[in-house]
C-alpha cells in the first residue's frame, strides 16, 4: 500500500478517481464539486496561489476502495486507512440544555466519527480538520470555539478516548459561513504524539481559555504500511499558554514558525524516517486579515524558502491571533 498527497491550485486534479481516499477543496464561490470521494469544501478565499486549493490523498497501488455514508459521514477506506468528512448544520441540531447548538453539533459529529471507526475496526484518529462559522463569536455566554471544545472533549470521553497525551493532530478555524465541517484520517495504529517544549500542551491549557481544554497534539507521526506521515497541527503565536505579539502580524508569524521549528525537533527525535527540517513540509497558512498577506508571506518565504505554502483567509480560534500555520510531510520508510 502506498499513499501520496496530490495538490493543485487548478479546478481539476490529474487523478484516477477510483484511487482517491479523500481530500479538501478551498476557495470562495466554489462550483459544486462532483467527485466520488469524501471532500471537505471550505468556502473561503485562497489568497495565494490563486484561484483555489485542492488536495487529495491517493492510494497508489490499485487497491479497491470501499465507500460509504454512515450517520452523515462520507467515508472511504483503502487497506487500513480511512478518510471521512462530516458536515453538521447547527440549526438542525436539537440541543439538550445546557448544551448549546454548536456544542451539541460538535459532540454529535465526534460521537458519529468514533462509532464509525469502532465499527470499521480502525479506532485511531490521526488528524482532524475542524472548521466552523463565526468561531470567535459569543453566544450563550461563551465563545463559540469554547463551545466546540466542550462538545469535542465530551465526545472523546464518551467514545472511550483519552483527552490527554495520545490525541490526534488537528486544526480548528473559522470561516464566514457554512456548517460545522470536520474531515479526518484514521488508521489501525496509534499515532506517536509530539508536543512543543515552548508551549503548554493544549489539552492542559488552564480554564481561563474555556471550560474544556482543546483535544489535540502539537503534531502526530502516523505510520501507514512502509510510510511515515508527519502532521503538524495548526500552530500560532502562543508561548506557554499565552498569546504573544498581539496586534503584530509580522512577529506572530515569526513566533509561529519558531514554534513549528521546535515541534520539528521533537518530531525528529521520534521519527522512523530521519529528521525533519522546515523545508521538508508542505504548509497551509491561515491569515485572519487578507491585507496581512504580504507581511505573512515575506516572513514565511524567508524562513521556509521554497517549501509549498497555500495562504487561506480564516479566523483563528483566539481573537488576538492573526495567523496560524500547519504542515505535513509524507515519506517512504526504508525497507
Ligand atoms: C493553539 O495553539 C491555537 O482546537 O483543534 C491550533 C490547532 C489551535 C488545533 C484545535 C486549535 C486547535 O491553541 C489553536
8-state DSSP, 240:
B
Calculated CA dihedral for residues 230, 236, 238, 241, nearest 10 degrees: -70
Question: How is the chain split into domains, by residue range?
Answer: 3-332
CA distances from 107 to 37, 75, 89, 98, 195 (A): 24, 19, 13, 13, 25
CA distances from 201 to 205, 270, 280 (A): 7, 17, 24
Q: For the residues of 28-87, what is the DSSP string, one character each?
A: TTPPPP--SS-EEEE-S-EEESSS-EEEEEEETT-PPPEEEEETTEEEEEETTEEEEEEE
* 307 C-beta neighbours (distance < 10 Å), count: 17
Tell me the pLDDT of the chain averaged across its residues.
96
- The rounded distance, in Å, linking the Cα atoms of 248 and 163 is 32
CA distances from 44 to 144, 312, 313, 314 (A): 19, 7, 6, 7
The reply to whether ligand 1 has any atom less than 6 angstroms from the CB of 216 is yes
Atom number in ligand 1 closest to CA 171: 9
- The rounded distance, in Å, linking the Cα atoms of 112 and 66 is 18
8-state DSSP, 302:
H
The reply to whether ligand 1 has any atom less than 6 angstroms from the CB of 285 is no
Q: Tell me what pLDDT residue 41 has.
A: 95
How many Cα atoms are found within 13 Å in the side-chain-facing hemisphere of 67? 13
Candidate from 196, 216, 258, 263 with most ligand 1 atoms within 8 A of CB, to mutate: 216
Candidate from 168, 170, 204, 244 with most ligand 1 atoms within 8 A of CB, to mutate: 170
Q: Where on the phi/psi map is residue 137: left (φ > 0), alpha (ψ -120 to 50), or beta?
A: beta
Q: Tell me what pLDDT residue 306 has.
A: 92
The CA 34 to ligand 1 mean position distance, Å, reads: 31
Residues 6+ apart with CB under 8 A from 334: 273
Closest CA to 79 of 227, 282, 262: 227
The reply to whether ligand 1 has any atom less than 6 angstroms from the CB of 238 is yes
Q: Count of residues for the chain?
A: 335
- The rounded distance, in Å, linking the Cα atoms of 282 and 91 is 35
Q: Tell me what pLDDT residue 28 has.
A: 92
Q: State how far Cα 166 lies from the chain centre.
A: 16
The CA 171 to ligand 1 mean position distance, Å, reads: 5
Cβ contact 48:284 at 8 Å = no
Closest CA to 106 of 132, 70, 141: 132
The CA 89 to ligand 1 mean position distance, Å, reads: 22
Cβ contact 56:21 at 8 Å = yes
Q: Which CATH superfamily is domain 3-332 in?
A: RutC-like (3.30.1330.40)
The CA 130 to ligand 1 mean position distance, Å, reads: 10
User: Which is catalytic among the residues 143, 324, 326, 332?
Assistant: 324
pTM higher than 0.85, yes or no? yes
The CA 189 to ligand 1 mean position distance, Å, reads: 23
Q: Where are the alpha helices (DSSP H) in the chain?
A: 101-120, 144-158, 249-270, 293-304
Q: Tell me what pLDDT residue 213 has.
A: 98
Q: Tell me what pLDDT residue 275 has.
A: 98
Atom number in ligand 1 closest to CA 321: 3
Q: Tell me what pLDDT residue 8 has.
A: 94
Q: Tell me what pLDDT residue 180 has.
A: 98
pLDDT less than 70: residues of the chain: none
The reply to whether ligand 1 has any atom less than 6 angstroms from the CB of 131 is no
Q: Is 324 a catalytic residue?
A: yes
Residues 6+ apart with CB under 8 A from 141: none
The reply to whether ligand 1 has any atom less than 6 angstroms from the CB of 202 is yes
Q: Tell me what pLDDT residue 204 has.
A: 98
Amino acid at each position: 500500500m502506498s499513499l501520496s498527497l496530490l495538490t493543485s491550485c487548478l479546478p481539476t486534479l490529474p487523478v484516477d478517481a477510483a484511487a482517491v481516499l479523500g481530500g479538501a477543496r478551498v476557495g470562495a464561490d466554489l462550483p459544486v464539486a462532483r467527485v466520488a470521494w469524501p471532500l471537505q469544501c471550505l468556502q473561503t478565499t485562497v489568497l495565494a496561489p490563486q484561484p483555489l486549493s485542492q488536495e487529495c490523498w491517493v492510494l497508489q497501488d490499485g487497491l479497491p476502495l470501499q465507500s460509504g455514508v454512515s450517520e452523515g459521514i462520507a467515508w472511504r477506506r483503502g487497506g487500513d486507512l480511512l478518510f471521512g468528512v462530516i458536515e453538521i448544520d447547527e440549526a438542525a441540531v436539537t440541543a439538550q440544555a445546557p448544551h448549546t447548538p454548536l456544542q451539541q453539533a460538535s459532540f454529535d459529529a465526534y460521537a458519529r466519527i468514533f462509532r464509525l471507526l469502532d465499527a470499521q475496526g480502525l479506532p485511531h484518529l490521526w488528524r482532524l480538520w475542524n472548521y466552523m462559522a463565526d468561531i470567535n463569536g459569543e453566544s450563550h455566554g461563551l465563545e463559540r470555539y469554547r463551545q466546540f471544545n466542550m462538545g469535542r472533549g465530551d465526545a472523546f470521553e464518551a467514545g472511550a478516548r483519552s483527552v490527554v497525551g495520545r490525541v490526534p493532530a488537528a486544526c480548528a478555524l473559522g470561516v464566514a459561513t457554512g456548517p460545522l465541517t470536520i474531515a479526518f484520517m484514521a488508521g489501525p495504529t496509534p499515532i506517536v504524539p509530539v508536543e512543543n517544549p515552548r508551549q503548554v500542551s493544549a489539552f492542559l491549557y488552564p480554564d481561563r481559555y474555556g471550560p474544556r481544554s482543546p483535544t489535540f497534539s502539537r503534531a502526530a507521526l502516523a505510520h501507514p504500511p512502509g510510510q511515515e506521515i508527519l502532521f503538524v497541527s495548526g500552530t500560532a503565536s502562543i508561548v506557554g499558554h499565552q498569546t504573544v505579539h498581539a496586534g503584530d502580524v509580522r512577529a506572530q508569524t515569526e513566533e509561529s514558525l519558531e514554534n513549528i521549528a521546535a515541534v520539528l525537533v521533537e518530531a525528529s527525535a521520534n521519527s522512523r524516517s530521519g529528521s525533519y527540517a522546515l523545508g521538508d513540509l508542505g504548509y497551509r497558512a491561515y491569515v485572519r486579515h487578507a491585507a496581512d498577506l504580504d507581511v505573512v508571506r515575506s516572513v514565511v518565504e524567508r524562513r521556509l524558502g521554497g517549501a509549498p505554502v497555500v495562504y487561506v483567509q480564516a479566523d483563528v480560534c483566539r481573537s488576538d491571533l492573526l495567523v496560524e500555520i500547519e504542515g505535513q510531510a509524507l515519506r517512504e520508510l526504508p525497507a
